[in-house]
Every structure is written in structure tokens, then in C-alpha cells.
Amino acid sequence: MELLKERILREASVTNNDVLKLDALLNHQVDPLLTMEMGKEFARLYAEHAITKVITIESSGIPVAFATALALGVPLLFARRKKTLIADQDALCERVPSFTKGIVTDIMVSRQFLTTEDNVLFIDDIIANGDAARGLIKIIERSGASLAGLGIVVEKSFQAGARTIREQGIQVESLVKISSLKGGKIEFE
């Protein structure tokens, strides 16, 4: 997606050889017009998959997942990172490490919103090692729902996350693939 590449080059910053800061686009501030274009592109890529629901992990994946769900005309479901006092005691949970946060968190999805009748599209903002994505994929599998595929806004292809998910036979579509951040320079595939 050329528009996204241009915006990344203008507005993102390289923290180190492994971390790209996308606060101006995805992780702190959101451009609604760009976000809607990303959602339309994911909807186009998965148009033939009979998606019943879009799923993501809170919080940075929510805007693009919402735009995708809107374009597809289906509900959006997001996995929570923290249990609340009114959380479903029978929720599907998975413990996952966060690459950017450097901590381990629990993600959870209520069983009532993810069923065997669902064919879900998983949308995420960025993939590095893929631990959080694999955790949500496990939850989807345990629910009995079908996973149509994974849509990633920014894939860091120099890290193993997306590759290991593709090796599981899951369709992964990335809007942008970054092959290197070495020396503070963003290089696209």
C-alpha cells in the first residue's frame, strides 16, 4: 500500500534495529482517512472469504479492525488484555508476551461472542515475533470458529512472526512489509 509506505517514511521513527515507532499513525494518534483506506484494502483482500466477524487485540489494532469490519459489514470483536470485575468467568484466555511492552499479559475473549458459526478475520497493527498473534489464534481455534486469515498493517519481515504463522497454513496479508530498520533506515520489501 503505497500511501501507507509514504506516511511511514514521513511520520514513523526507528527506535532501534528492531523497533519502529508508529505513534503518529497507529499507536497513539490515528488518521481516520488513512485508517479507512487500510480497512477497505483488507476488506478487498478477504472479500471472497465469507467473513462473519473481524477480531483483534486491544488496543492499537482496534481502529484498523473497526474500519475493516465496517467495510465488510460485520461485527468487530476485540480480545481484552485485562480481566475486569464483570468479565466472563468462562472466557477463553491465553497468556502472551508483548514484544514492544516487554511484559507478559493475558488476553481474553468471551465465549458468547466467538462461536463455531464464525469465520473470523484477524486484523493486527504490527507483527514482530508473533507471540500475541499466535495467542489469539489459539483462542480462535479453541472456540471452534474458523480463521479466514490474518491481516497485518505493518509486517517486520526480518522477524519471524508472520513467517511462522504462514507456515501453519494461515493466509497472512500485510499492507506493508519492512525488511530492515538497521542504521535507523526503514527499508521496504
- Averaged pLDDT in 10-residue chunks for the chain of 189 residues: 96 94 92 97 98 94 98 97 64 83 86 96 94 95 98 96 97 98 96
The per-residue pLDDT for 87 is 58
- One-letter amino acid identity for 139? I
Binding residues: 20, 27, 128-132, 156
Domains of the chain: 2-188 (3.40.50.2020)
Binding residues for xanthine: 20, 27, 156
The per-residue pLDDT for 104 is 87
The three-state DSSP-derived secondary structure of the chain is: CHHHHHHHHHHCEECCCCCEECHHHHHCCCCHHHHHHHHHHHHHHCHHHCCCEEEEECCCCHHHHHHHHHHHCCCEEEEECCCCCCCCCCCEEEEEEECCCCEEEEEEECHHHCCCCCEEEEEEEEECCCHHHHHHHHHHHHHCCEEEEEEEEEEECCCCHHHHHHHCCCCEEEEEEEEECHHHCCEEC
Backbone phi, then psi, for 54, in 5-degree steps?
-105, 140
The per-residue pLDDT for 59 is 82
Taking residue 134's Cβ as centre, other Cβ atoms within 10 Å add up to 16
* pTM beyond cutoff 0.85: yes
The per-residue pLDDT for 88 is 63
Binding residues for 5-phospho-alpha-D-ribose 1-diphosphate: 128-132
